[in-house]
Amino acid sequence: MAILHPHGYLIITEDGVTSAEHDTLLCPHCQGIIVIQPGSGKRRDYCLKCKAVTCGKKECRACLTFEQKQDRQRVAKMNHIHFLTESGLYVAS
């Protein structure tokens, strides 16, 4: 499988000597680094919505980008603070 646009490059060295070099990708769903190793047998997925290779983790099968996850966390935090403020349990410093 040819990777047309790798996101990065990994160089592994041992005792100052390069032992391996690989192209890398970034999973659009979790921001995990995917090391491209053709023939490794590692399962990867492809997201049709993102049009990108994903890391293959179970939690990354649904299309939810890292930015969308962050937005959901921010909204949940703001809702929690609003709830605590309304109930008198939170005082802004």
Predicted model pTM:
0.65
Q: Where are the domains of the chain?
A: 8-86
State how far the Cα of 82 lies from the Cα of 75, in Å rounded to an integer. 10
DSSP 35-49: E--TTS----EEETT
Region 10-22 average pLDDT: 90
- pLDDT, tens digit (0-9, with 9 covering 90-100), for 50-85: 888 999 999 899 998 888 889 999 999 999 989 988
Residues in the chain: 93
Closest-CA residue to 11 (of 1, 23, 2, 26): 23
Give the pLDDT score at 7. Answer: 82
